[in-house]
Structure formats: structure tokens, C-alpha cells
């Protein structure tokens, strides 16, 4: 358990390092942040905090640098404060709303915008359709064994396809099939109800078992047509950061960005359903991310879950980055829905 002074020292060292990129010494902390404490007192506290895993020294004559543990303490303190919207928010809103050529183009633009605004790598992940809640499923007889399948998703998004069933069915039976599937699936993502449907939707429709099964297979094919899509922008901006002047670190980040599926899975794994999530250095299982942080914010629209995020150095300006993500994600909800 940290004392109040130790907490202030940790937060001060992290803030100083974020602002300057230089190790923070006891004299600097005493003069700029804790004026009521002497440099000698702070030096002793910093030695204790180093033993506790919050700091390390690049060499004996230097000041201290924060560890992932110190950054976590700093980020947790940020999350408890209100964050004013960045001054550029209205400008960004106008620019986003000009991207009316489809959700893919919009998210590609947003990832570039995030990278430019933060000097980090901007990411935007668009969820697979199977992760979106289903509102209703219905079938319309077109003639013979050809049926129009309609799937209404969360937010009113409708997907449709002409499908072939094993045999010809009356509209009454198709309506009953649609009602049974909707009763099980409504309000749940397809990934949660797929297996249950094979068991329960056939109750009372055993005479057309093969047709019912094929209908569920066809729905599954539509909702799994595309996996999560990932848009990445602004990788070149991290070259301007001193943290990535080491060509080895820069190549490591570029290597990660080339692995689209692995990156998409990482974004999904570390995001939460609502609110901001931050994963820092050692908290991330991927070895390539040990010198990086990941900040993620979800948004929604068109019946699709979208995750906006930033990949940056441990020395990321977390307060600014989180404020930018929240501002853009909040407006993205409106842009996607309107």
C-alpha cells in the first residue's frame, strides 16, 4: 500500500517522463511537483518505489523511469477524472461526416485521423456479423424450393439472400420456422445461439428436419461471411517519436501490424463492452507489445460493433489519447447511425 507521498511521486515521475522523455530525478520532482518535500526525502522514497517495482534506473547516475506498474497507477488515476473534449473535436466531426461512401471507407479514414492526431498507430476493428444481436429472422417463399431469407440485426440492419432449401415448403411452415428461430435468437449474438438452434428449432417441425437444418446452415453462412475487419492508419507517425528511433523497436511494431488476424484478435481480446480499456506493456501477452500500450474504446452503429484504438509507446500521452478516442468514438456512433 503506497503512502500519499509515494503515490504523488509515482504520478509525478510518470507525468514528467511523458512530457519530457527524460528520466526524472529527485531534484526535478521536488522543484516542480512536491515543493514541500526535500530532494533527499524524495530520493529515499524513489529508492523504495524502485524496490517495489514502480521505477528503474537506466544507469546509476540517471533519474528514474516508470515501469508498466507505474503507468498502470497513472492511467487508473486518469480514468477517475473528467476529460474535456479536445479543441479539434468539431473539426474531426465534420471530417468524419464527410466520409459518406460506406462504413469501410469511414473507418479507414478514422484510423488515419487517429494516427495523425496522436502520433500513434490508429486502429479501427469492425466486428463480424455473428457478434451482432439478432432481432428477427423470416423467410419468404419465392417459388419452388427458392426462399428469400431476411435477417434483421441490432440497429435495424437487414441482410437478405436467396437460398435453396432441400424441398418446397408452404409459406405457413416458413413463417413457423422463422418464428421458432427468432424466439431463440432474438436479443442474442448468433455465436451464442447457433448450437442451441440446431436442437430447439426443430421441435414440432421434425417432418421437415433437413430443411430446418439447412435454413440454420444458410443463416450461419451469411453471418460468418466475413470475420472481423481491421483498419490501421498512421504507422509512419510513430517514426517521429523518440521511443521508436531504435530501428529494432520500429520493425517489431511494423511486424505486428502486418499480422492482421492476430492484431484483430488482440484488439477484441483487450477491449471491453463499454468504456475505455488500456493494456500496458507487460500486461499484454504478445511479446511484440512489451514496449507498447494499447488504448481501446468501443462504439456502435449499423448493427455492427466497432472498436477504435491506439497502439503507442509506453510513454504515450494517455490523457490526451483517451480524450481523443472518446471524442471520435462518441461521434462515430452518431455518424454510423444517422
**Using one digit for the tens of pLDDT, what is the confidence trace for 27-67?**
999 999 999 899 999 999 999 999 999 999 887 777 899 99
pLDDT at 337: 47
Query: Considering the chain, what is the average pLDDT of its residues?
Result: 85
Show Cβ contacts of residue 93 under 8 Å, excluding neighbours closer than 6 positions.
331, 335
pLDDT at 159: 78
Say how far apart CA 123 and CA 309 lie, in whole Å.
5
Evaluate if residue 168 carries a pLDDT over 90: no
Evaluate if residue 244 carries a pLDDT over 90: no
Say how far apart CA 34 and CA 93 lie, in whole Å.
40
Q: For the CA atoms of the chain, what is the radius of gyration?
A: 26
User: Which range, of 13-27, 124-138, 263-277, averages the lowest pLDDT?
Assistant: 124-138
Q: pTM of this prediction? A: 0.73
Contacts 24+ apart (CB under 8 A), 273-276: 273/298, 274/298, 276/79, 276/322, 276/325, 276/326
- Domains for the chain: give ranges and CATH numbers: 4-78 (1.10.10.10), 88-127+228-337 (3.30.450.40), 130-223 (3.30.390)
Write the pLDDT tens digit of every residue in 91-147. 888 888 877 667 778 888 899 999 999 999 999 988 766 667 888 999 999 988 899
Amino acid at each position: 500500500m503506497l503512502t500519499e507521498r509515494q503515490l504523488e511521486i509515482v504520478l509525478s515521475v510518470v507525468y514528467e517522463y511523458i512530457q519530457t522523455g527524460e528520466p526524472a530525478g529527485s531534484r526535478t520532482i521536488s522543484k516542480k511537483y512536491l515543493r514541500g518535500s526535500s530532494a533527499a526525502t524524495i530520493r529515499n522514497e524513489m529508492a523504495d518505489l524502485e524496490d517495489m517495482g514502480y521505477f528503474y534506473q537506466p544507469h546509476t547516475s540517471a533519474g528514474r523511469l516508470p515501469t508498466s506498474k507505474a503507468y498502470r497507477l497513472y492511467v487508473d488515476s486518469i480514468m477517475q477524472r473528467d476529460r474535456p473534449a479536445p479543441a479539434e473535436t468539431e473539426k474531426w466531426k465534420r471530417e468524419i461526416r464527410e466520409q459518406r461512401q460506406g462504413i469501410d471507407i469511414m473507418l479507414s479514414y478514422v484510423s488515419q485521423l487517429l494516427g495523425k492526431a496522436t502520433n500513434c498507430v490508429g486502429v479501427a476493428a469492425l466486428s463480424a456479423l455473428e457478434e451482432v444481436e439478432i432481432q428477427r429472422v423470416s423467410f419468404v417463399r419465392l417459388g419452388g424450393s427458392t426462399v428469400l431469407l431476411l435477417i434483421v440485426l441490432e440497429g435495424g440492419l437487414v441482410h437478405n439472400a436467396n437460398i435453396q432449401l432441400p424441398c418446397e415448403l408452404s409459406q405457413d411452415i416458413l413463417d413457423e420456422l422463422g418464428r421458432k428461430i427468432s424466439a431463440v435468437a432474438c436479443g442474442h449474438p448468433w455465436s451464442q445461439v447457433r448450437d442451441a438452434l440446431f436442437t430447439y428449432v426443430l421441435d414440432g417441425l421434425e417432418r421437415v428436419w433437413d430443411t430446418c437444418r439447412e435454413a440454420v446452415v444458410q443463416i450461419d453462412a451469411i453471418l460468418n461471411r466475413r470475420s472481423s475487419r481491421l483498419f490501421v492508419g498512421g504507422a509512419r507517425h510513430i517514426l517521429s517519436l523518440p521511443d521508436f528511433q531504435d530501428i529494432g523497436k520500429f520493425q517489431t511494431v511494423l511486424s505486428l501490424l502486418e499480422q492482421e488476424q492476430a492484431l484483430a484478435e488482440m484488439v477484441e481480446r483487450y477491449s471491453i463492452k463499454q468504456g475505455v480499456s488500456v493494456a500496458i506493456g507487460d500486461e499484454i501477452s504478445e511479446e511484440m507489445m512489451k514496449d507498447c500500450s494499447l488504448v481501446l474504446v468501443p462504439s456502435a452503429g449499423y448493427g455492427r460493433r466497432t472498436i477504435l484504438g491506439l497502439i503507442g509507446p509506453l510513454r504515450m500521452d494517455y490523457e490526451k489519447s483517451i480524450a481523443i478516442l472518446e471524442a471520435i468514438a462518441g461521434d462515430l456512433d452518431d455518424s454510423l447511425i444517422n
